[in-house]
Structure 1
Amino acid sequence: MENYQEILKGLQSNHKYLPTWYNYDEVGSELNHICTTENSNYYITRGELSVLRDKIENIIPRVPYQLTLVDLGCGNCHKTRFVIDELLRRQGTLSFYPEDISEDFLLRSSKQLAEEYGDDLVITPIPEDYVEGIEQLKKVKGPKFILWLGSIICMSYADQVNMLRLISAMMTDKCNLVFSADITQDRNTILKAYDDEAGLMRNFIQNGITRLNKETGSEIDKTKFKWEVDFVLNKDPYSVSYVRKYMEAKESVQYKMPQLNMDFTMKMGERLYFHEGEGFSCKYTLEQLRNIVEKAGLRLTDTWTDKDKHVVFCRCTTV
């Protein structure tokens, strides 16, 4: 089983969890796309698309040289197309490096883009996690426009800072990083997005258990758990607000996991979280975001928000 040590660590800890990345196999990536595009209450994707559609000419800096496009955690690249189209309009051709942990999903998306754009778009897919992917991207020469859309919010505070530091290691003074973040603070709006009536988000999260059963030989019964979503507000300028998603055992349960050589047990009322740390899908004030960027040794130069002020795009350069 891939990365079994990290899975073991989460399942055996006092604060039981499955890491966020574990949901993103090919099935999970597709379910995530569905729950973020077909849930009418999920404002993040709608807000991101609005900013890209209305402000892409300003988000991409005008420079007297060609840019190479990097997309970290690219998914199916449906948001990246706005950037590709604008860069092709300016440059005529474009070298594109999409990176994603789900290899099958990434290669399928790359194939679709290659068929659509032809020789004008030279695609080099990187099917790796962030750390390995960035190591490969460090070898890419020249000015880079780096996208990291919708992903910083799914990390712990420390990991957000560390990831931005990691990205900065492949940047020169001619590179720009643009990432998007959620600046929504209203509890009801957030809970409607993450606990939708159609259960689209729950289907995505439950994929983590489906995958766990498949890969460990277990038979975890989803009906023996309550599925919960919560929001924790935090105004501290050096912290963030966040969502928590977890399943809570309705009774004491025990399941064998032959592939991990362990028995997985939960007491009644015990929780299994679907993220590392205190929470995931972080929500920010602009002050909180600026502090994170500065801690990582980068400079926040510009921001753009959608009209409803749910989402912000941040452009960063090296100091």
Structure 2
Amino acid sequence: MNKPRKQEAQSHHGLPSFRKFGFFHKQWELMIMLPEVAKLRDIFDLFVVSGQNKALAKEAEGDRCLDLAASIELSDVADCLRTMGLSPGGDWLARQLAEQLRRREEMGPLGARIARRASFELVLTLYCKLAARVEGPTAEDVLQVLRSCDPKGTGVLPYCELRHMLTTMGDRLDEAEVFSVLHGFTDIGGNVHYEHLVRQMFANDLHAEEALQQAGLYLQAVGRNAIDMDMDKRDQFIEALRRADPLSSGFIQPDRLLELLNGREERFTGEELQLLTQGMEDTRCERGINYRRFLRFIMNE
């Protein structure tokens, strides 16, 4: 009898572990694997002004930085985050955007050109930071308290007991509010199915938690430099690497990598590439450079 294969490690939301995503996926591939990120991207795209952005992109044609045609104004970031379901505080967001503005202006002419624009990856980074700041009890916190009142694990509690909790503890509710909250989860015997109640009450929070987790995975996969980069050019580079390595060995000869890089309007010399890829060579089988490590390096350093 064959032994069952060990299942791949998964998160508590059923998502594959990060190694499943890696650094070698295009944007659209990541969106398929991370559907909550795709929904956030749809919201972001609502704030992209196509005509104006195309004009900006034409002015910046040839730049390696942010794709201006797929960016939004920094002044629209707050509304974008609100549409994504968050409540950015004015002072906090102002400090974050001021830091981004300062950092980009220090990048020189290219940074100054994109200084007042926000990529999806930048907005998603702010989304993760802001969502992580939200305080308050989670669904599991509330369930843990209610389960302590249900030692037999029946999944129900008397209506009168929950009514007492809601009218005397924390943010107290009045009788009408208690009825509106509990009546849909109360059975004929006067017992409230509290697990169903809590799941319903925290449905939006659970959805937000999953979106936050997927957003974090996406940002890890694309690398921290993605906030300033033209992601379409990154995807084109990945496609070129895949074509150059049809057997998916993960390695490429230095001269071929140099050719692909300089074909993207880069200006690398062989000596510069050798310095950048130091430690990435396959010294045992002489297969060349580990291009996945190289991509991870340029997207994070």
TM-score range, shorter chain: under 0.3
In the superposition, the TM-score normalised over structure 1's length comes to 0.23
Q: Which structure has greater helix proportion?
A: 2
Q: Which structure has greater strand proportion?
A: 1
